[in-house]
Amino acid sequence: MSNENILEINQISKNYERKIALSSLSFVVEKGELIALIGPSGAGKTTLLNLLATILQPDSGEIIVDGKPITQYADQKKRAKKIGIIRQQFDLVGQLAVIHNVLAGRLADWGFFKSLFSLFIPQEKQVAIKALERVGLPDKQYERTSNLSGGEQQRVALARLLMQKPEIILADEPVASLDPARADDILDMLTKIAKEEHQTVIASLHSVEYARKYFTRLIALKNGELFFDLPADQVTDEQLQKLYQLKELN
């Protein structure tokens, strides 16, 4: 086992009641890689990400994070140091001010009283403001989060990730509800930050152009199985066409 491997997926399967979501999936991820997960809807991308985020458990197979099985990261706080997640629907607490949502990235390290106190007088404010500056929202700290636009909210989610500093960033369709200009913005920011902080990114995208533009490796899933796993520049158009092709009616 190379020390460079931050993530190892071994033969994982996941079934839902009548559907096979993932079957015998295996691949290895090195630290610092920028991976895009692509494939048609229902291919199992979200299931895979939820498995990696420990929201779901695999029916068989194992996931190894930084040399240890993922089950050892059952403690939420320990897991949050390794794995962070950003989603399509930002999932921020709309009622809170932006700064509290950003500071929530530090909750893994804060105790009860510090967390409570911070709601009245924000703690570690400077770090949070720096994070907000990095994502281009320097003067939005005290705005109510739900008042921000979609693109701005996703940037707040990125700022929270900056506070959390996980080693692996999982992104589940992070730009699906944004217009093309914002989407480019976010993906650019995400990949740049990941490179600067030496973080590994696994992002599921439904746009192949974005995948090729910002990521170094493409893993394609179709019907729960690995369709191909190649560096971004080696993926051919023909492969992509086959990937997204609808099943022919017999």
Partner 1 sequence: MKKRKFTFLTFSFYAFLFLIAASWYFVIGVKNASFLELFSKENVAYASKFFKGLFGVGQEEIAFLNRDSWSHAFTLTIETLQMSIMAIGFSTIVMFLTVIPAARNVADGTLTLSRKWYRWVVFSLIRISYIFSRAIPELVWAMIIIFIFKPGILPGAIALALHNFGILGKLCAEVIEDTDYRPIRNLASAGAGRAQILMYGVLPTVLPQFLSYILYRWEVIMRTTIVVGFVGAGGLGQEFKLSMSFFHYTEITLLLICYLILVIIADFISEKSRFFVK
Partner 2 sequence: MLSFDLHKRKVLTLFLLLLFAWSLFGVNWQEGVLHSSGIGTAAEIFAAMLTPDLSLDILRLAVESSWLTLAYATAGMSLALILALIIGVLASGVLASGKSSRTLMKGSFRGVLGFMRAIHELVWAWLFVASFGLSPYAAIFALAIPYGGILGRIFADMINDVPEEPILALKAAGASKLQCLFYGYLPSVKNSMISYTMYRYECAVRSSAIMSFVGLGGLGYQIQLSLDDLHYGEVWTFIYFLIILVILIDGWSNMLRKRMQL
Label residue 107 exposed, middle or buried (CB < 10 Å: 0-12, 13-18, 19+). Answer: middle
* Tokens standing for residue 116: 């409570």
> Of residues 107, 127, 176, 232, which one binds partner 1 by CB under 8 A?
107
Q: Which of 11, 24, 57, 95 binds partner 1 (CB under 8 A)?
A: 95
DSSP designation for 43: S
Q: Which does 80 bind (CB under 5 to 8 A by kind): partner 2, partner 1, none?
A: partner 1
Residues 6 or more apart whose CB falls under 8 angstroms from that of 239 comprise: 220, 227, 228
Q: How far is CA 74 from the centre of its chain?
A: 19
Binding to partner 1, residues 209-248 (CB under 8 A):
none
78 binds partner 2 (CB under 8 A): no
Contact yes or no for 202/28 (Cβ under 8 A):
no
117 binds partner 2, rule: CB under 8 A: no
Among 6, 35, 97, 158, binds partner 2 (CB under 8 A): 97
CB-CB contact of 137 with 156 (8 Å): yes
Which entry of partner 1, partner 2, none binds 93, CB below 5 to 8 A by partner kind? partner 1
Minimum distance from residue 235 beta carbon to partner 1 (Å): 30
Residue 120 C-beta: closest distance to partner 2, Å: 8
Q: Out of 164, 199, 200, 204, name the contact with partner 1 by CB under 8 A.
A: 164
The β-bridge relationship of strands 60-65 and 68-69 is antiparallel
Answer whether 82's CB lies under 8 Å from 164's CB: no
Whole-number Å distance between alpha carbons of 216 and 218:
7
Q: Which does 245 bind (CB under 5 to 8 A by kind): partner 1, partner 2, none?
A: none
Using alpha carbons only, how large is the chain's radius of gyration in Å? 19
Q: Which does 142 bind (CB under 5 to 8 A by kind): partner 1, partner 2, none?
A: partner 2
Binding-site residue total for partner 1 (CB under 8 A)?
31
With CB under 8 A as the contact rule, the residue among 74, 113, 120, 246 that binds partner 2 is 120
User: Is 97 within 8 Å of 141 (Cβ atoms)?
Assistant: yes
| Joined tokens for residue 157 | 């989610």
Positions that interact with partner 1 (CB under 8 A):
53, 55, 76-77, 79-81, 83-85, 87, 89, 91-96, 100, 104-105, 107-110, 112, 115-116, 119, 160, 164
Which stretches of the chain bind partner 2, using CB under 8 A?
97, 120, 142-144
